[in-house]
Copies of this chain bind each other. A is one copy, B any other.
C-alpha cells in the first residue's frame, strides 16, 4: 500500500475518539485527518478536506448517523462509510446499511478487527462484525416472514388516502378528518373503506398496525 488511508473519526465521545486515535496512529498506512463530534461537522469537514473513509458513530448528536450517511453518499461519493455503534440493534444496522454504509462494526470490536475493517472497506469491499452478520441474518428472516404474513404487499396508497391514514394514526375521528381536509364525512368514510380493503385490515387497529409495521407514512 503506497498511499495512506485518510480517516475521519466521527463520534461524540471524546475519550473514544482519543482511543481510536491512539490505535490508528501506530499504523503507517492509516492517517486520522480529522475528528468530529457531531453530524454537521462531518459534512463541514468533507466540504473543505477529503477523506477516504469516515468512521461514523450511528448515534451522533444534532444529526444522526443515518442522515450523515445519506448526505455523504450523495455529495461525497469517493468517501466510504464504516459505521460503528455501541448497539447491535437490528433497526440501526439495517437502516444505515440501506443508506450506503459499507461496513458496520461494534464498539466492543478489538484493535485488530478495527484495522481489518478499515482496510477492507477502503478496498471497496464490505465488512461486518460477526455479531452484526448474525443480526442482519435475523432481520432478513423476519422481513421474509413479515412479507409472507401480509400476503403479498400493500397496493399503492394514493396521496389523499395517505393524508387520511396519517390523521387516523394521529387519533383523529372521521369527523375531525373531514374538517381538517375540508371534505365531507362520507368522503372520508369512503377513503377509510378503501384503506381497509387495500391494506386487508378489519378495523382501525389493523390500519394503524400495518401502517407502523410497513412505515407507510415515511
Instruction: Check B205 against A111 for contact (C-beta < 8 Å).
Output: no
- Which residues of chain B come closer than 8 Å to A116, judged between CB atoms? none
Please count how many residues in chain A sit with their CB below 8 Å of the partner chain's CB atoms.
34
- Which residues of chain B come closer than 8 Å to A169, judged between CB atoms? 205, 209
Stretch at the interface among A17-25, A46-54, A75-83, A181-189: A17-25
Instruction: Check B14 against A16 for contact (C-beta < 8 Å).
Output: no
Count copies of this chain in the complex: 2
A residues 61-95 in Cβ contact with B at 8 Å: 86
- Which residues of chain B come closer than 8 Å to A108, judged between CB atoms? 12-16
> Residues 186-218 of chain A: 1 if any B CB is under 8 Å from the residue's CB, otherwise 0?
000000000000000111111111001100000
Main DSSP-derived SS at the A contact region:
helix
Determine whether A180 belongs to the interface, using a CB cutoff of 8 Å to chain B: no
Of residues A15, A20, A108, A202, which shows the largest number of chain B Cβ atoms within 10 Å of its Cβ?
A15
Determine whether A171 belongs to the interface, using a CB cutoff of 8 Å to chain B: yes
Determine whether A114 belongs to the interface, using a CB cutoff of 8 Å to chain B: yes
A residues 103-160 in Cβ contact with B at 8 Å: 106-111, 114
A14-B108, A15-B23, A15-B109 known; 9 other A-B pairs, CB under 8 Å?
Answer: A13-B86, A13-B107, A15-B110, A16-B16, A19-B23, A169-B205, A171-B203, A171-B205, A205-B208
